[in-house]
Amino acid sequence: MMSEFEMKRAEKLQQRALKNPGKHELVRIPVFERVYMIGDELYGEFKGDKTPRRVKDYTIGAC
**Alpha carbon distance 43, 3 (integer Å):** 40
**The model's pTM:** 0.48
What pLDDT does residue 31 have?
Answer: 80
Query: Which neighbouring-strand residues pair with 34?
Result: 45
Q: What secondary structure, in 3-state letters, does the chain show?
A: CCCHHHHHHHHHHHHHHCEECCCCEECCCCCEEEEEEECCEEEEEECCEEEEEEHHHHCCCCC
pLDDT in tens, 9-51: 777 766 665 665 666 666 666 688 899 999 999 999 988 888 8
Inter-residue contact 49 to 58 (CB < 8 Å): no
